[in-house]
Structure 1
């Protein structure tokens, strides 16, 4: 018997918000930032990007049956915020990179899942460990990105990260959802 399991990185209420799925040729714009709630701390925080992954699984109770896992990167419009008095294209680029970082790590997850999770038994045994490890790496990278760039204020560091993120997206291009 096959069944579908949908699990979200974020809480269940985010499943009902307005989401944008990551696409290479679609960039964020300020109209995508729809929340009026600034829950961030720090005077240099001009905007906040709420993004992450959602995955769905089609598997069987038979541990030898093939498993299908779909991993998507999303931007949550209803939880993303901006200070309209301070926004500009440079800040928007910084926020876009947060979304791009989510896609980089989704690709890393897709890659490892494709290599190691072939059956329902594999899913039951190892998927959660892979997911948790990559989620931890993702969270640490997002924190380092904001710290190192001072939320985009350090233009040299921002340029370094822009290049690094573009390079990672290219290196993992074969794990992009078409």
Structure 2
């Protein structure tokens, strides 16, 4: 009976999963873009990636107790859209980089958390400010990425960002999710 429940739970979780967690080497494919709505409202938009982070915290009411913060980079399938008539592998690469950028900034957040948050008191006092600062930097970088690459149309700039993002992931590799 326990195995049947576990099988049903895992099957339901797989079938109705709405998030993909970033992992080294994991590449998005067009079937991951499941939204039927172009929330960017532009006729020139080929695809839209909705990604970011989620975090969970295990802490105590005692401010001196150790705290554990888990941060995961996610891709939201049912909030990511594509125009099936315009998609190609090059555009998919551009969209993958949005997901990779989210991981870069998740690693920056993990680094700051590791450096500055040791206890529940530290979390209560510092986490929201750290989170807001990294989130602001992340949003600015995503906008710069699309602006500078002209949403991937400028292949030279896209190639520069591809290298920059790969270097950032490598520089922050010790802050990969565990």
Q: Return the TM-score normalized by structure 2.
A: 0.89
Which runs of at least 4 in structure 1 moved beyond 4 Å after TM superposition? none
Query: Does 1:169 find its partner at 2:169?
Result: yes
Structure number with the higher strand fraction is 1
Distance in 2, matches of 1:62 and 1:103, equals 31
Q: Structure 1 unaligned segments of length 5 or more: list them.
A: 1-15
Deviation at 1:43, TM superposition (A): 4.0
Query: Which residue in the other structure is 1:44 paired with?
Result: 44
Partner deviation per Cα, 1:29-78 (whole Å, 9 max, x = no partner): 00000001001144432100000100000001100000000000000000
How large is the Cα RMSD of the aligned pairs?
1.1
Contact 1:60–1:120 (CA under 8 A) maintained in structure 2: yes
Q: How many residues align?
A: 163
Query: Which residue in the other structure is 1:55 paired with?
Result: 55
Q: Return the TM-score normalized by structure 1.
A: 0.89
Structure with greater Cα Rg: 2
| Change in 2 beyond 3 A, CA 1:44/1:157 | farther
Contact 1:18–1:78 (CA under 8 A) maintained in structure 2: yes
Contact 1:101–1:165 (CA under 8 A) maintained in structure 2: yes
Query: Which residue in the other structure is 1:71 paired with?
Result: 71
Distance in 1, matches of 2:139 and 2:29, equals 23
1:1-178 map, 5 Å: 18-178=18-178
Distance in 1, matches of 2:132 and 2:17, equals 24
Partner deviation per Cα, 1:88-126 (whole Å, 9 max, x = no partner): 000000000000000000000000100000000000001
